[in-house]
Amino acid sequence: MTDLRDLYQEVLLDHSKRPRNFGVLEDADHMAVGHNPLCGDKVVVYLRMEGDRIAEIRFQGQGCAVSQASASMMTESVKGKTRAEAEALFERFHELLTGKEPDAAEAPEVGKLTIFAGVRKYPVRVKCATLAWHTLRAALEQKTEAVSTE
Amino acid sequence: MSSAVDPACSPTPPHALDVERVREDFPALRQQVNGKPLVYLDNAATTQKPRPVLEALRRFYEADCSNVHRGVHTLSQRATEAYERARELVRRFLNARSEEEIIFVRGTTEAINLVAHSFGRHRVRVGDEILISAMEHHSNIVPWQILCEETGARLRVAPINDEGELLLEEFERLLTSRTRLVAITHLSNALGTIVPVREVVRLAHERGIPVLLDGAQAVAHLRVDVQELDCDFYAFSGHKLYGPTGIGVLYGKAEWLEAMPPYQGGGDMISSVTFEKTTYNRLPYKFEAGTPHIAGAIGLGAAIEYVTALGLEVIAAHERDLLAYATEAVSGIPGLRLIGTAREKASILSFTLEGVHPHDIGTILDHEGIAIRAGHHCAQPVMERFGVPATARVSFALYNKREEVDALVRALEKVREVFGR
């Protein structure tokens, strides 16, 4: 039970049951849909940017506790951050999950996302935890591309 | 272990399966996972292999390894004999009329693709229809979609009810003068429904429509007699029947197979080749291009001998008991919803647990040493039909026992505990 609790920590369960920033963002100017075809998890990320800064972020989705909690906590972590800051945070978060960078958990910007370190022991679940982040990246990039072609 | 036992003809009622004894035949079952004894309940995905199968593979590679149907040397003759003996074992297992109706393929998926490719391109034209059901595995959907795209034919889907049973009247209504083939599962991998295939075949044949049965799940749990079923094609995989991966069988009535063009070109499927013209080999070799999975076929033969000696009726009775016991046991768990409650079911228990995604169930069960499948089971339209993104699926084999069901129930209680349900 102890190491199961490493994965299913109270904070994670809380976010999965009562996701923050959940729902459609009516005035979104960026959006992307993320799928995990393996398990059918789905996340939609909506953004409203103010210049280079994520002014507003919401998500919708369905899936396992890990994917939904990760999406919920991501929205809290990146709100108000710049594009580059969000990208950097995803990098640290990914390092934390894959265990490539043992000190990632210590990085101050990771904050309460450190609870996802427990996912490391469950390699097949890493994708669940990163789905929302990949979707965020797609949302951020989507607009960039669209703008560049307009 | 004798292969002469035919449970169907046995004058005495089937004896009960000695589970503890058969478990000793499966080395993989004797291990710990996450510090707990392995409880393997993912048999619809693949089964563990009994010692006779492992030994047959080893014997082939150690002593008889050679190519088939060409060498004059002793090893090649031995390999050919063993390979063809496996074909005869499959013929007997399915009660096919002739060995030429037994084609070795990689698995059910390839068998269906073979029919879609060869029968489909031979017989299906623009405006024609292929009829499947709403509970098919992707491998009995996608090959037909590809065929329809290429030919301009149309894929029709016979609906199921809320229990997961085929609606026979609707099915019959969808049989039209344009229907060229019915392709339907014998036993649903996502729901456990046993489809009344004899009735399906009868209805289709009344209109002169051939029927392919996807037997991937069925062969390990139901006795299959292709002459009695009168199906035109029957497809199954070795690895779900305690045999090796990478080997499977397509049974086809000789008259269809004779009329159908080859699936792939290459060695073994020809009798003579010049640059002007190639004469195809006789059945079944016409459909076996290239060096086949010789060891796999031999291993499958050993698996068939193994289950035949235990008795398929005996195995089925044991699994029926387990399924009834498990259905009863889990139905007491609050928030648990069974997906697939057909009257005729076998070996599969698909369910959801309120407030817990199947993947989380899968991870927590794995932590308890229990292997189940969580996901859409390559049957996304079925998930959609029941309005769920995924289910947790428990599937039984001959070596599972009631104590394992008890462990499952305890672990599901733990899931609820972790999630505070």
Residue ranges per structural domain of chain A:
2-142
Q: Band the pLDDT of A106: cuts 50, 70, 90.
A: low
Q: Which residues contact B220 (CB under 8 A, 6 or more apart)?
A: B43, B47, B240, B241, B242, B307, B315, B347, B397, B398
What is the CATH number that goes with domain A2-142?
3.90.1010.10
CB distance B322 to B315 below 8 Å: no
Does B357 contact A64 at a Cβ distance shorter than 8 Å? yes
B370: nearest Cα among B24, B21, B25, B42: B42
Averaged pLDDT for residues A86-94: 94
Q: Band the pLDDT of B376: cuts 50, 70, 90.
A: confident
Q: What is the pLDDT of residues A3-37, one digit of tens each?
A: 788 889 999 999 999 999 999 999 999 999 998 87
Rounded to the nearest angstrom, the minimum Cα separation between B4 and chain A is 43
Q: Is B148 annotated as catalytic?
A: no
Is the pLDDT assigned to residue A150 strictly greater than 80?
A: no
Cis peptide leading into B284, omega within 30 of 0? yes
Is the pLDDT assigned to residue B2 strictly greater than 60?
A: no
Q: What is the mean pLDDT of chain B?
A: 94
Closest Cβ opposite residue A38 in set B356, B375, B418: B375
Give whole-number Cα distances, B130 to B116, B124, B178, B330, in Å.
10, 9, 8, 38
**Better pLDDT: B14 or B36:** B36
Assigned token pair, B31: 């291990």
**Better pLDDT: A141 or B84:** B84
CA distance B102 to B69: 16
pLDDT score recorded for residue A101: 64
Is the pLDDT assigned to residue A87 strictly greater than 70?
A: yes
C-alpha neighbours within 13 Å on the C-beta side of residue B399: 24
Averaged pLDDT for residues B233-237: 98
DSSP B11-80: SSPPPPP-HHHHHTT-GGGS-EETTEE-EE-BTTT-----HHHHHHHHHIIIII---SSS--SHHHHHHH
Determine the 3-state secondary structure of B9 from DSSP: helix
CA distance B16 to B24: 17
Residue B420 in contact with partner chain A when CB distance is under 8 A: yes
Q: Which amino acid is at B143?
A: P
For the CA atoms of A21, A26, A28, A32, the dihedral, rounded to the nearest 10 degrees, stands at: 70
What is the CATH number that goes with domain B54-308?
3.40.640.10
B251: nearest Cα among B279, B289, B282, B211: B211
Residue ranges per structural domain of chain B:
11-40+312-418, 54-308
H or E element at residue B214: strand B211-214
Residue B386 in contact with partner chain A when CB distance is under 8 A: no
pLDDT score recorded for residue B271: 87
Is the pLDDT assigned to residue B187 strictly greater than 70?
A: yes
- Predicted TM-score (pTM) of the model is 0.92
Q: Name the one residue in this structure whose structure tokens are 């344009």.
A: B178
Does B359 contact A42 at a Cβ distance shorter than 8 Å? no
Assigned token pair, A82: 């710049």
DSSP B217: T
Task: Say what percent of chain B tops pLDDT 90.
Answer: 89
CB atoms within 10 A of CB B121: 15
Range with the lowest mean pLDDT among A64-73, A137-146, B181-190?
A: A137-146
For this complex, say whether ipTM is above 0.90: no
Q: Band the pLDDT of B3: cuts 50, 70, 90.
A: very low
Q: Which amino acid is at B287?
A: F
CB distance A53 to A82 below 8 Å: yes
Is the pLDDT assigned to residue B128 strictly greater than 90?
A: yes
CB atoms within 10 A of CB B100: 18
Q: Which of B9, B148, B231, B378 is catalytic?
A: B378
Does A17 contact B380 at a Cβ distance shorter than 8 Å? no
Q: Band the pLDDT of B11: cuts 50, 70, 90.
A: very low
CA distance B389 to A42: 10
Q: What is the pLDDT of residues B253-264, one digit of tens each?
A: 999 999 999 999
Q: What is the pLDDT of residues B254-312, one digit of tens each?
A: 999 999 999 999 888 888 888 888 889 999 999 999 999 999 999 999 999 999 999 99
Q: What is the pLDDT of residues B28-84, one digit of tens each?
A: 999 999 999 999 999 999 999 999 999 999 999 999 999 998 778 999 999 999 999
Closest Cβ opposite residue B375 in set A39, A122, A128: A39
Q: Band the pLDDT of B162: cuts 50, 70, 90.
A: very high
Query: Of B34, B142, B363, B380, which to mutate for an interface test with A (greatest number of A Cβ within 10 Å)?
Result: B363
> Residues of chain A whose C-beta is under 8 A from some C-beta in B?
1, 3-5, 7-8, 13, 17, 38-42, 62-66, 122, 125, 128
CA distance B97 to B229: 13
Cα dihedral sign for B395, B397, B399, B402? positive
**CATH number assigned to the domain with residue range B11-40+312-418, chosen from the 4 options 3.30.420.40, 3.90.1300.10, 3.30.1280.10, 3.90.1150.10:** 3.90.1150.10
Assigned token pair, B6: 């035919």
